[in-house]
Amino acid sequence: MNNCGRGSACAAVSSARGRNSRNRWSSRLQRAVVAISAGLALMGAAAAQEYPTRQIVVIVPFPAGGSTDIQARVLSEPMRQVLGQPVVVQNVPGAGSTIGTGRAIQAAPDGYTLIVGNWTSHVGAGAVYPVTWHPVADLEPVAILATTTLIIVGRSGLPVNDGKELIAWLKANPDHATAATVGAGSGAHVCGIYFEQKTGTRIRYVPYKGGAPAMADLMANQVDLFCGEASQMLGHFKAGRIKPLVVMSKSRWRPLPEVPTMEETGASDTYIAFWQGMWAPKGTPKHVIAKLSDAVAKAFADPVVIKRLGELGQDIPSREQMTPEALAAYHKSEIDKWWPLIKGANIKVE
């Protein structure tokens, strides 16, 4: 029975009841929001802890046996030990490395597909091939890897023995010498053009599908010159099959200290680093990138890796240089430096 009647006291009671009901509902809603937020945070933390739960594929956009392929394989085992899952290298060559890079860019951004590339795949190729992606904008940097120098080498029968003699011979024989390249816009190709511009010489270029056939013809005295990644040719230098003439670095290369730099030949400020890096598809979660970057750093601290890369004359970057942010900044600076030269030279896909 309602004894309240229609007075103001009844209205006050009714209003208080309404407020109490709304307060209880608001309190329940707040508790639900807090619970959901906590659940999502726990799910995110669990996901971060769980990655990886299966095999990771590392795409190398070049044929097996090259320096980038070797480095990816050297790192795969110690990375497996850190991450607790297999790290499998997959070679996807073709179209000047753009097929492999494109496949990595199109992969799911979940940390299970990565790419290890180098100057050719992540600087030169994007300036020459008609791709729909951008090597900086469409990939997430993980870490820069070991670096080395490019070196200009000659066939064993070439009538020169160092950089100064090479420049003199080229000037005396314009358009006579041949140089192998491994695709338009490759490090070997751009190195040659850069050398021509800095020394006032002229060279004819012979395209090859890869470094292996180019080296085979160089050792067979079928082509005169090649500008390649130094560590890959170290065994050939020691065996006397090819002549190391000049390094494209700021200082002399540790394994061959007798070979002069371009600076020492008279061409100042002339160098081109052969660097390599690891990337993931754009949108890969930050905690996954961080975990991968940490795995790379720990892999480079492995004594077996240090020894192997040291034997190849490769330099391991410092821990500060191995961050995703450092690779992003360096990659952009290399694009800014080399794309104008490549496009200005009107390099075309062969």
Q: CATH no. for residue 119? A: 3.40.190.150
What pLDDT band is residue 104 in, cutting at 50, 70 and 90? very high
Residue 9 inside a domain? The answer is no
Report pLDDT digits (tens) over 57-97.
999 999 888 889 999 999 999 999 999 999 999 999 988 89
User: In this structure, are residues 274 and 124 in contact, taking their beta carbons and an 8 Å threshold?
Assistant: no
Residues 316, 306 contacting (CB under 8 angstroms) = yes
User: Could you tell me the pTM of the whole model?
Assistant: 0.81
pLDDT in tens, 127-172: 999 999 999 999 999 999 999 889 999 999 999 999 999 999 999 9
Segment 198-219, tens digit of pLDDT: 999 999 999 887 777 889 999 9
What pLDDT does residue 285 have? 98
Structural domain span for residue 196: 148-273
Looking at the DSSP bridge assignments, the partners of residue 230 are: none
pLDDT above 60 (res 266) = yes
In the predicted model, is pLDDT for residue 6 greater than 50? Answer: no
CA angle 22–41–325, rounded 5-degree value? 135
Residue 42 lies in a domain: no
As for how many domains the chain has, the answer is: 2
What's the rounded Cα separation, in Å, for the pair 53 and 50?
6
For residues 141 and 281, state if they share a domain.
yes
2-27 burial string, b = 16+ CB within 10 Å, else e?
eeeeeeeeeeeeeeeeeeeeeeeeee
Average pLDDT value over all residues in the chain: 88
List, for residues 15-26, the tens digit of each pLDDT value.
Answer: 555 555 556 655
Q: How far is CA 78 from the centre of its chain?
A: 19
pLDDT above 70: residue 42: no
Intra-chain end-to-end CA distance of the chain, in Å? 97
Is residue 88 domain-shared with residue 114, that is, in the same domain? yes
Q: Which of 222, 257, 273 is the last residue of a domain?
A: 273
Of 212, 241, 273, the last residue of a domain is: 273
